[in-house]
Amino acid sequence: MTNFEEHNTQQEPEQLTPLQERLRREELEAQRKRDKKGKGGSKVGYFMSGLSGIVIGALLLWLLLPSLVGQLPGTQQSNPTTDSSNKTIQQNVTEVSTDATGAVEKVSDAVVGITNIQQVTNFWDQSTSSEKTGSGSGVIYKIDGDKAFIVTNHHVIDRAQQLEVTLADGSKEDAQLVGSDIWTDLAVIAIDSKNVKTTAKFGDSDVLKQGETVIAIGNPLGLEFYGSVTKGIVSGKDRSVPVDLNNDGQPDWQTEVLQTDAAINPGNSGGALVNIAGELVGINSMKIAQSSVEGLGFSIPINSAIPIIEELEQHGEVKRPAMGVSLLDLTEVPAFYQQQTLKIPQEITTGVVVTDVVRGSAAEAAGVQQYDVIVEMDGKKIENSIELRKHLYNEKEVGDTLTLKVYRQGKIVELKLALNTNATI
């Protein structure tokens, strides 16, 4: 009996021989490999195309960048460009010149450094040696034959056994003291003129105006900062600054100075204060050095300095009239001694006490006595020793007669002195 299987709607596969089956499988395997390779190859192709674009773009940028740099905003070429004939094009340099720079150029070479050399004793073996004990500045103002004259401050050269001057070109010269004056804080020294090429021209300090530009030139803190320049204005004229000359803590004198806010530091002393025309209008002298104070420098007016400079050249000192007394302000005397020793009226609160009379002096010849209290000179009220000195030194000359009114044991006595130069006061 014939067996029948369930009818299938799908056509039965064609029966293949073993050889055909093997060939078919190999063909399918080959086809799968081709398909796989085709998918991977397209990715590689896309990557290679992108990479090629980047490389080509970078290459073009590298080639074009040098020509674009000079055209971009805010860019400059660091190397000089060349024209078509291969010649270097030089940049134009503008030299800046102002009134201030012109003034400095006129006078800066006349400002010098001054070194104070003294004999110093070694504490341990008591040996002595020459050492530099300080430095300051000075101004060459005149050449006379083989000598060049320099004005500076008295305190710059005070107690020096040797003086050394440093010129603007760095050369050094031995200097000789011509003369000095403690009261005006001025001194004149001289050096050989062979290496001096510039001198300062005197200006007129009387015509300076408050607010006018001035320039200070000197060597602050020593020769390391040689020729430093600072600029400011005339802050004030006809200033009086009390100074202590004997280091006793009491003012002995009032120096007439110009006030400026141009920086003046230790080492600037003796340097130049010049106007905008480059003329010497002052000799820098001092500053108020306090933590709460700024911009208070002082300079000796050149019109006040010139007569002193001339007298120092001629005589080596300033010849001033002298009374021949030692003084003490009445305000420094305790009330008990004012009443018991001086016996002055209670309403008299100011004046100058004569504490000592120099033998052979004008004061002794006129009959001035110890404990006299000076209250008037030539009809002018005298309240302290500074006023006394100012009247004596500024108003009187050697050989003049000075009229005094003094309290002596409670009574007014009038005296006349023929002034000479035998004593300091």
d(CA 159, CA 247): 15
List the catalytic residue out of 155, 235, 261, 385. Answer: 155
Tokens of 21: 């089956």
List the catalytic residue out of 135, 228, 269, 385. Answer: 269
Burial zone of 172 (CB within 10 Å; 0-12 exposed, 13-18 middle, 19+ buried): middle
- Alpha-carbon separation of residue 270 from 44, 157, 253, 297 (angstroms): 87, 10, 19, 13
- Alpha-carbon separation of residue 77 from 23, 70, 85, 351 (angstroms): 74, 6, 19, 79
d(CA 403, CA 418): 9
Tokens of 425: 């006061």
**Angle at 241 (CA atoms; ends 237, 245), nearest 5 degrees:** 145
d(CA 306, CA 266): 24
By C-alpha distance, which of 267, 157, 264 is closest to 222?
267
Q: Determine which helix (DSSP H) or strand (DSSP E) holds 408, and give its type and residue range.
A: strand 401-408
What are residue 134's DSSP bridge partners? 116
90 φ/ψ sector (left φ>0, alpha ψ -120 to 50, else beta): beta
Tokens of 194: 């062979």
User: Is the distance from CB of 385 to CB of 323 less than 8 angstroms?
Assistant: no
The pair phi, psi for residue 145, each rounded to 5°, is: 65, -125
- Which residues, 6 or more positions from 269, have their beta carbon under 8 angstroms from its beta carbon? 136, 137, 152, 153, 155, 156, 218, 284, 285, 286
DSSP string for 258-270: EEE-S---TT-TT
155 is catalytic: yes
What count of other Cβ atoms lies within 10 Å of the Cβ of residue 318? 17
List the catalytic residue out of 109, 137, 154, 185. Answer: 185
Burial zone of 93 (CB within 10 Å; 0-12 exposed, 13-18 middle, 19+ buried): exposed
Which residues are tagged catalytic? 155, 185, 269
